Amino acid sequence: MARRDKTNYYLDLADVVSKRGTCLRRNYGAVIVKNDEVISTGYVGAPRGRQNCSDIGTCIRQKMNIPRGERYELCRSVHAEANAIISAEREKMMGSTLYLSGREVATGELIANSCCCSMCKRMVINAGIKTVVVRDTDNEYRTIDVQEWIENDESLEGSLGY
């Protein structure tokens, strides 16, 4: 058996971290790495001390049929990327890589075309993370230069010019 390449090794870790998630729709795991050292991990779950969707047995976004990528303010959970960022020192995150893997709860399949939501993108930018690697299949992934998110500011689309 061939040795696993480093990128897929860290994505495998993110996939294992996602198994701690408590979302009823999709679970993500995030791993922040710098200089081949894991800085922190994060998964989807309610803030500490609050009940998780898996505990109460309901998801408000699912109940309201809210499509993927919309109305995250209604969600009980903190996203995996945010939890990983919260748990790390900013100095260590500067120039780091965030590895992200997500699975559909109902099927266990990897989430197609996944990426950080707009709120998590802003946190990734401010944390000083340089690169985001997103798992597409068990062996394939996309590498995103965070600088692209800065230069291609989607929040300017439809802006009121404030």
The amino acid occupying position 60 is I
Q: Is 148 a catalytic residue?
A: no
The one catalytic residue among 37, 70, 73, 81:
81
Q: Which residues pair with 24 in a beta bridge?
A: none
Q: What is the model's pLDDT at position 160?
A: 43
| 6, HSE (Cβ side, Cα atoms, 13 Å) | 7
User: Per residue in 40-86, pLDDT tens?
Assistant: 999 999 889 888 888 888 888 888 888 877 787 778 889 999 999 99
Average pLDDT of the chain to the nearest whole number: 90
Among 11-15, 90-94, 112-116, the range scoring the smallest mean pLDDT is 112-116
C-alpha pair distances (Å), 132 with each of 33, 55, 56, 100: 10, 31, 32, 7
Tell me the three state secondary structure of residue 6. helix
User: 127, 93 in Cβ contact below 8 A?
Assistant: yes
